[in-house]
Amino acid sequence: MSEENAAPDTPVPGVEPYDGPAGGWGALRAVAVAVRDQMGASANTRALFSMNQPTGFDCPGCAWPDPHKTSSFEFCENGAKAVTWEATAKRVEPDFFARHSAKELESWSDHALEDAGRLTHPLRYDAASGHFVPIEWDEAFSRIGAGLRALDHPDQAEFYTSGRASNEAAFLYQLFARAFGTNNFPDCSNMCHEATSVGLPQSIGVGKGTVTLEDFDLADAIFCIGHNPGTNHPRMLSTLSAAARRGVPIVVANPMRERGLERFKSPQHPSEMLSPASTQLASAYHLVKVGGDSAMLKGMMKALFAMDAEDLARGGKGVLDRAFIAEHTQGIEALQADVEATGWEDIVHGSGLTRAAIESMAQTYARAERVILCYGMGITQHAHGTANVHQLANLLLLRGNMGKPGAGICPLRGHSNVQGDRTVGITEIPEEAMLARLDARFGITSPRAHGHAAVESLQAMRDGRSKAVICLGGNLAVAMPDPDACFEAFRKLDLAVSIVTKFNRTCLQVAKETIILPCLGRTELDVQAGGDQWVTVEDSMSMVHASRGMLQPASPDLKSEPAILAGIAKATLPEVAIDWDWLIADYDRIRDAIEAVYPDFRDFNRRVRQKGGFRLTVGASHRVWNTPTGKAQFIAHPLDELSLHPGLLLTTIRSHDQYNTTIYGLNDRYRGITGRRDVVFAHEDDLAAHGLAHGDKVDISAGPGRVLRGYTVVAHAIARGSLAAYYPEANNLVPLEDHDRQSGTPSYKSLRVTMARSVDESLVPAG
Ligand SMILES: Nc1nc2c(c(=O)[nH]1)N[C@H]1C(S)=C(S)[C@@H](COP(=O)(O)OP(=O)(O)OC[C@H]3O[C@@H](n4cnc5c(=O)[nH]c(N)nc54)[C@H](O)[C@@H]3O)O[C@H]1N2
Ligand SMILES: Nc1nc2c(c(=O)[nH]1)N[C@H]1C(S)=C(S)[C@@H](COP(=O)(O)OP(=O)(O)OC[C@H]3O[C@@H](n4cnc5c(=O)[nH]c(N)nc54)[C@H](O)[C@@H]3O)O[C@H]1N2
Ligand SMILES: [Mo]
């Protein structure tokens, strides 16, 4: 049996291997279908062509930076899906809710709920009739204000942010919540790159990536670990292609073969499109076991130390960057001792890779002068996510691959402004200096006690300690682990508010008072008292730039996120002397306030008007280490028990047709899945070991009550011992308590499970 098992011949409905490259004509066709289904021939279709242009709106698809310096239109299939989904011609008017009760809507799929279209009017849930009913904005605000003021303590409220919110909206939001009196800021980042936000500051003094797009032009080797750019950061494929064409090795570590890391046919390059050619991306592809990254990384470092010793023995200079280590780091001895004490047997078992494979990765790494290490959720969403991030930093520091051109760490951020939201104050653990500046600017007294992150907020809601939640975007109850527990937590509340573009399942978790506020999307014109407004966002590489919508809003009754937050703030805090209306009349005023609180935004309004915006300071990019010792830290970790787990580990993944909990469609083109999501990917050897075959129906169990029933197994090129199923359907396998102790990131990507042939309960004799 080869490593690269292909799906066998037995036809399984909706399952057929995909042989093409990523991108190509399939991508263009998919865009045409998205435009047709959502937008028809509407004038809004031209929105697609101003995306990621200096004068247009920032693509809501992902946080990969834009090459603003050129004016070429960067085509991206999944960016187009994100835009057409928002700019859809479909509408959910109040009469929709008169026709469909909340009870009925519960039976709708996540896809159907959002596909119904854009919300047009504020709503509240009417328990007497069981329907959502329209209300006016003023009434909505005053009900929310009354609900918040009725709490015994501000800490009984949770203020959730999903990462599409602009810097301006997020800043107003944190100002409001702190003026109200709490630091409870659960954030989508808590489910995403929190391990980065916690781990990287400990290693290199900053919780952000250190590279820029230009660094990719200078790198000698690129490692892609645990991210799937063909689907989730498609514009990155142009960058990777350019590197591959320069002959730069691209080394991949991923439990699944992902087409978007293997081959790409760029829709930007007519010559590629019109020929059978595509660009090969990965120069080496290693199917690391789910949860096996730290074992793999320790193996690479072990090989590196051995190469170093051999080279020194031969009279060479060694392969470590000794000058850098001496000048800039601490802790190498403990790291080396730990790595050397870890045996190859454990490394091979834990990673699922051969020693030779790991040594070849280390050789590629050591041969390159400048290395960029990219990573995503495959690294962070584990019980040991923070430790994984430390190991990535350790590996880079060993050869000084930090803070020099062409080298560094590149976390692939999630939502398009998740990084910016954090920068402007969405954090449950704010720093004193920032709070002091906020208080001075606005004459408030912000609370100092730390607040709740996402897991803690749901636990507090579940346990009755929190009684109100405001969600600025997102689909919190569905995105979190253990949806049943989260649904129940919402239903216990006194007040639940969703500020969203589309109705989703979180809106259906009705509290005593439930209010849905429809907002403008990023593509739409935002007109306030001071005229047309635009907002700013920060991408994965700390570039801050403007985003200006130009489409007619989905409904004249929509408000912008800042305007909604101002409305809520005024109704909740009439005694607080902040002129919310003045702030939102002209967003330049919000930006001035951001500058007053965050000195790094100096001259914000001027600099953000420059073409391409500006970059925030990232100390580690210049070898300034903002750690307590002023040095970068090597941080050692013993092998975690998960990587030594003998049984199956299941990871949860995104399909090519989804944006987090937003399900655009039921296909996953590159993985060969059409029209369904009830599949689990497995290695053929694991199927055989379980007496199963491709296409069989199985139950996947993570413990009592945590079972996925009747899923179809698909033989796939995936590491042995590893399974994969789609998020969010698989979220009931994850207990709320199963998260990284350091960062709180849920263990969405390493669940201990068992797999067995499905029991058809109708066939089990009674008694
Ligand atoms: N179109 C689209 N774009 C998106 C999103 C979307 O849903 N759709 N979501 C946005 C958001 S919020 C985020 S956070 C990012 C997510 O972007 P990614 O990080 O790419 O997200 P995932 O699909 O969750 O997982 C990525 C890869 O991790 C691999 N993997 C799983 N487990 C492991 C493991 O244990 N080790 C390793 N090495 N790899 C593993 C999977 O096989 C998969 O290829 O994308 C953003 N962009
Ligand atoms: N099992 C498993 N679970 C996961 C993950 C995983 O990999 N596996 N990934 C996790 C990650 S990385 C993340 S980031 C979370 C995602 O968690 P969230 O960010 O909470 O979820 P989304 O699905 O992105 O939110 C979709 C909703 O956002 C609203 N929306 C869209 N655009 C806008 C806008 O411009 N403004 C406003 N106000 N609302 C808007 C729409 O109404 C839509 O229904 O899920 C996490 N959950
Ligand atoms: Mo994310």
Would you say the CB of residue 521 lies under 6 angstroms from ligand 2?
Answer: yes
CB-defined site of ligand 1, < 6 Å: 61-62, 78, 192, 225-228, 231-232, 253-256, 258, 288, 290-291, 293, 376-378, 412, 414-415, 651, 653-654, 658-660, 749-750
Distance of CA 521 to the CA centre of its chain: 19
Between helices 293-313 and 332-341, what is the axis angle to 10°? 110
Neighbours of ion ligand 3 (CB under 5 A): 192, 414
Residue ranges and CATH numbers for the domains of the chain are 91-192+417-597 (3.40.50.740), 194-411 (3.40.228.10), 648-763 (2.40.40.20)
Query: In the structure encoding, which two tokens stand for residue 187, read together?
Result: 């954030």
> How wide is the angle at C-alpha 606 spanned by C-alphas 604 and 610, nearest 5°?
110
> Residue written as tokens 């936000």?
197
- pLDDT attached to residue 763: 61
Rounded CA gap, 289 and 582, in Å?
Answer: 55
The amino acid present at 194, given as its one-letter code, is: E
Structure tokens at 63: 């946080």
Nearest atom, ligand 1, residue 253 CA: 38
Closest to 129 in 3D by CA, of 100, 93, 94: 100
* Rounded Cα distance, 355 and 357, in Å: 5
For position 305, what pLDDT does the model report?
98
pTM (whole model) above 0.85:
yes
Binning the chain into helix, strand and coil, the percentages to the nearest 5 are 40, 20, 45
pLDDT at 4: 46
Ligand 1: residue whose CA is nearest its atom 26: 227
Ligand 1 pocket test, pick from 78, 114, 164, 227 with the greatest ligand atom count within 8 Å of Cβ, gives 227
Q: Which residues of the chain have pLDDT under 50?
A: 1-7, 69-73, 767
pLDDT of residue 26: 85
Question: For residue 2, what pLDDT is reported?
Answer: 42
Q: How remote is the CA of residue 191 from the centroid of ligand 2, in Å?
A: 10
Both structure tokens of 363: 């050789």
Tell me, letter by letter, the H, E, C secondary structure of 454-495. Answer: HHHHHHHHHCCCCCEEEEECCCHHHHCCCHHHHHHHHHCCCE
Ligand 1 centroid to Cα of residue 411, in Å, is: 11
Atom 40 (ligand 1) nearest CA: 378
Paired tokens of 382: 């584990």
